[in-house]
Amino acid sequence: MALATPIIACAYAEIALKGRNRSVFLRKLINNIQSALKGEEISSVKHVESRLLVNLDDPTRAPEVAAKLKNVFGLQWISPVVAIPRDEVDPELREDLEANEEPRLTKVGEVACALAEETRAGARNFKVETRRSDRKFGLTSPEISRAVGYTVHTKTGLPGKMVGPDLVVNVLILKENVLVFSEKIPAYGGLPLASSGRTMVLLSGGIDSPVAAWLMMRRGSRPEFVHFYSGRNLDEADVEKIKELAGILARFSPVPLTLHMVPVVPYEMRAIGTVEDRYDMVMFRRFMVKTAVRLAKRGSCLGLVTGDSLGQVASQTLPNLGAISSDVDLPILRPLIGMDKMEITAWSKEIGAFKTSILPYRDCCSIRSPRPILNAKAEDLLEYSEKMNLDEAVAEAIENTVRFKILPC
């Protein structure tokens, strides 16, 4: 029996816990799925009994569609399924029950066998797991598992194994269909992108900030990116690397994103001769944060995101983090603050950014003074800001900012 899987079933994660505004999140999730699958021939995306069912016109595209769905935040897992209409299952069950015979569920069993053969040729044992969304089905979940398991065992010869089986055949009883599937592709969970407000992400060319951006995107925030480059003009900056990092993140977004490229020269011209060497790094951070806040407000972003990790480098000591942003009136979100570099690197690889992040790049932070102060005081930074006219530096930097539209790469 050759199987076509014209439906992909998706389970959503945290949205299930939402109360009254659950439908708002669901609508967003469905829109995001539709955007992610633009270009695929999809006849519908339906919400059916706590699952989202994506109906494909071309079943051979199932693997590609599943891969695209993996990048849609809000989904917990994704499965190509075989759907058997209930009117092909119920009459036989009714007959068996009326005749007082052991229920067979032949059709479900046959599909389960075909799945076992098609998807896990090397499996040495199996288990059937059943869930009933329609509780009025004539059998309990264990009874269904037993009936389907019996067919799989007699037809394939595979023994059942309840703990750690090679193959799990899942049966899900819905009101109109029985879904049978063996593959459960884990997705990233979280909340649908653009359901939690916008943020301005300070994106460096390194490993950390793309991961920070991704983690906040997974919480539903739609990002804009800002990158600060050294050099007299954009030609001297490695724009392509930053665009590529932003493009990798855009793979997880249903809409194109924006990247702001900001020159650091306006800061440098005013800091030279005014800001002591050991204060340069923290003052420079302050310049970045202040500029990012201005851009954020213009773009209706409600917070900043950085890749700071406590104590990772001198500018990220607790006193410095506090002093840099003592008078900032937007929340600064730092999703990596408690993570170590190994964890961050693992995420970087998972999201596909690592290879680009480690390409050589002359970041403007790497050319700052090598011995920065570790416990800067807010008052001192405010004083330096006055002396060097930081506000003017920020205004000039913003005037010379260039914006790019970022598509997935």
Binding positions for ligand ATP, rule: CB under 6 A:
202-204, 206-209, 226-228, 288, 306-308, 312-313, 363-365
The answer to whether 294 and 378 have CB atoms below 8 angstroms apart is: no
For 158, the token pair is 């595979």
Closest to ligand ATP by CB, 113 vs 262, is 262
Q: Is 301 helix (H, G, I), strand (E, B) or coil?
A: strand
Instruction: Name the DSSP letter for residue 60.
Output: G
Residue 81 CA to residue 62 CA, distance in Å, equals: 10
Residue whose tokens read 């930081």: 390
d(CA 339, CA 332): 17
* Choice between 191 and 226, CB closer to ligand ATP: 226
Residue keyed to tokens 């995306």 = 45
228 or 267: whose CB is closer to ligand ATP?
228
For the CB of residue 251, give the shortest distance to ligand ATP in the complex, in Å. 18
Q: Which two tokens stand for residue 384?
A: 């330096």
| Alpha-helix residue ranges (DSSP H) falling in 188-276 | 208-218, 239-250, 265-271
User: The tokens 């990790």 sit on which residue?
Assistant: 309
For residues 288 and 408, is the Cβ–Cβ distance under 8 A? no
Query: Residue 306: which of ligand ATP, Mg ion, none does it interact with, CB under 5 to 8 A by kind?
Result: ligand ATP
Nearest C-alpha neighbor of 80 from the set 30, 130, 5, 11: 5
In the complex, the smallest distance separating the C-beta of residue 207 from ligand ATP, rounded to whole angstroms, is 4
204 binds, among Mg ion, ligand ATP, none (CB under 5 to 8 A by kind): ligand ATP
Cα–Cα distance measured from residue 84 to residue 87, given in angstroms and rounded to the nearest whole number: 8
Q: Which residues pair with 261 in a beta bridge?
A: 227, 402
What is the distance between the alpha carbons of residues 348 and 356, in angstroms, rounded to a whole number? 10
Closer CB to ligand ATP, residue 36 or residue 217?
A: 217
Minimum CB–partner distance for residue 369 and Mg ion (Å):
17
Q: How many CB atoms lie within 10 A of CB 271?
A: 23
Smallest gap from Cβ 307 to Mg ion, in A, equals 5
Q: How far is the CB of 329 from Mg ion (least distance, A)?
A: 25
Tokens encoding 35: 């955007």
| Structural contact between residues 188 and 350, judged by C-beta atoms closer than 8 angstroms | no
Residue selected from 96, 208, 244, 396 as contacting Mg ion according to rule CB under 5 A: 208
Least spacing, CB of residue 203 vs Mg ion, in Å: 12
When the beta carbons of 265 and 281 are compared against Mg ion, the nearer one is 281
Q: Sketch the per residue contact string, 149 through 188, with Mg ion: x for CB under 5 A, - otherwise.
A: ----------------------------------------
Of 10 and 202, nearer to ligand ATP (C-beta) is 202
Pick the closer one to ligand ATP by CB: 174 or 364: 364
In this complex, which beta carbon is closest to ligand ATP, that of residue 7 or of residue 226? 226
Q: Among all residues, whose Cβ is closest to Mg ion?
A: 208
- Shortest gap between Cβ of 171 and ligand ATP (angstroms)? 46
Q: Smallest distance from the beta carbon of 288 to Mg ion, in angstroms?
A: 13
* Partner from ligand ATP, Mg ion, none contacting 396, C-beta within 5 to 8 A by type: none
Binder of residue 97, out of ligand ATP, Mg ion, none (CB less than 5 to 8 A by kind)? none
Contacts of 370 (CB under 8 A, 6+ apart): none
Partner whose footprint covers residue 325, from ligand ATP, Mg ion, none (CB < 5 to 8 Å by kind): none
Contact partner at residue 228 from ligand ATP, Mg ion, none, CB < 5 to 8 Å by partner kind? ligand ATP
CA distance 255 to 245: 16
In the complex, which residues of this chain contact Mg ion (CB under 5 A)?
Answer: 208
